């Protein structure tokens, strides 16, 4: 009996800090919905068809609605009181407001990272860069984008600045969508890879001033590409 109690307590202690399965489920659903939005399968201003998505993912409405709340906090979904949700339309004005802020945050993260980054952290980012380059060569957009985001986040993490991370993370969901839009154009995608190679070189040299400038200019070039994509989409919508 005593042995059984000891084993029971071990089980409790080993699982009490683990995430509840429902949390993992709604996070997974949120990730899938992001890609449906990024890829254009869920189009801007379209109503979210909850029943169809529940059938598609074989889930109940509870984790779906939790996922929609996450996407609403990222600006991807607009919740309609008692009327469900719709996909938020991204405008050029939205991008113009967001990018200078994110550019300043990324520039600061680059400058701070160079002052504290370790050799092992640089090696990790370098490995991710080469993996990202492979996906670029294979035209594997989703895989490329996923690692791209990890690289930017890893540079931020190496600063060890929790306040910077908190502010950055509050806007990260919004920036993911617009960054994905920028790489729809192959020429911009190729240019982005060249810029990332320059970013990696500055990081390896621990040149904080140069890295800050590269990260900021990288983001502002992305802004130009995003605005061009948005304008093309608006013209097509209006029949121009």
Q: Per residue in 80-122, pLDDT tens?
A: 887 889 998 878 888 888 888 999 999 999 999 999 999 999 9
Fold match between domain 10-87 and domain 92-235: no
pLDDT at 144: 92
Cα distance between residue 99 and residue 199, in whole Å: 18
Domains of the chain by residue range: 10-87, 92-235
The CATH number, out of the four listed (1.20.120.530, 3.20.20.70, 3.40.1410.10, 1.10.10.10), of the domain defined by the range 92-235: 1.20.120.530
Write down the residue that tokens 């074989």 correspond to.
58
Cα distance between residue 67 and residue 214, in whole Å: 34
Cα distance between residue 14 and residue 193, in whole Å: 43
What is the greatest pairwise CA distance in the chain? 78
Write down the residue that tokens 């050029």 correspond to.
92
Q: Residue 180 CB: number of other CB atoms within 10 A?
A: 22
> Where are the extended beta strands (E) located within 70-139?
77-80, 84-87
**Contact in structure between 211 and 199 (CB atoms under 8 Å):** yes
pLDDT at 98: 87
Which CATH number applies to 10-87?
1.10.10.10
Q: Residue 191 CB: number of other CB atoms within 10 A?
A: 17
Q: Say yes or no to pLDDT of 31 above 60.
A: yes
Structure tokens that stand for 70 in this block: 């996450």
pLDDT at 183: 63
pLDDT at 114: 97
Write down the residue that tokens 């983001």 correspond to.
219
pLDDT at 41: 85
Kindly report, residue by residue over 178-222, the tens digit of the pLDDT.
777 666 678 888 999 999 999 999 999 999 999 999 999 998 888
Write down the residue that tokens 């991204």 correspond to.
90
> Where are the extended beta strands (E) located within 90-210?
none
Contacts by 41-46, CB closer than 8 A, 24 or more apart: 42/87, 43/87, 44/87, 44/88, 44/89, 44/90, 44/233, 45/86, 45/87, 45/89, 46/86, 46/87
**Contact in structure between 157 and 120 (CB atoms under 8 Å):** no
> What residues form DSSP beta bridges with 86?
47, 78
Residue 87: closest CA among 74, 99, 101: 74
pLDDT at 182: 67
pLDDT at 16: 42
Average pLDDT, the chain: 83
């Amino acid at each position: 009996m005593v042995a059984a109690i000891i084993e029971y307590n071990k089980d409790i202690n080993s699982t009490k800090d683990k995430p509840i399965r429902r949390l993992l489920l709604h996070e997974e659903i949120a990730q899938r919905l992001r890609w449906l939005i990024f890829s254009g399968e869920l189009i801007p201003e379209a109503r979210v068809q909850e029943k169809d998505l529940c059938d598609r993912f074989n889930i109940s409405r509870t984790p779906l609605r939790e996922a929609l709340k996450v996407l609403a906090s990222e600006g991807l979904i607009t919740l309609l009181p008692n009327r469900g949700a719709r996909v938020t339309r991204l405008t050029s004005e939205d991008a113009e407001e967001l990018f200078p802020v994110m550019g300043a945050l990324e520039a600061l993260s680059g400058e701070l990272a160079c002052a504290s980054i370790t050799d092992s952290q640089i090696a990790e980012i370098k490995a991710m860069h080469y993996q990202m380059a492979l996906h670029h060569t294979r035209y594997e957009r989703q895989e490329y984008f996923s690692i791209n985001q990890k690289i930017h986040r890893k540079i931020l993490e190496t600063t060890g600045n929790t306040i910077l991370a908190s502010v950055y993370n509050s806007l990260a969901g919004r920036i993911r969508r617009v960054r994905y839009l920028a790489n729809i154009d192959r020429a911009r995608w190729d240019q982005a890879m060249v810029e990332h190679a320059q970013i990696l070189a500055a990081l390896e040299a621990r040149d904080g001033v140069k890295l800050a400038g590269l990260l900021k200019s990288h983001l502002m070039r992305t802004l130009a590409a995003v605005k061009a994509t948005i304008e093309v989409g608006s013209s097509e919508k209006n029949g121009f």
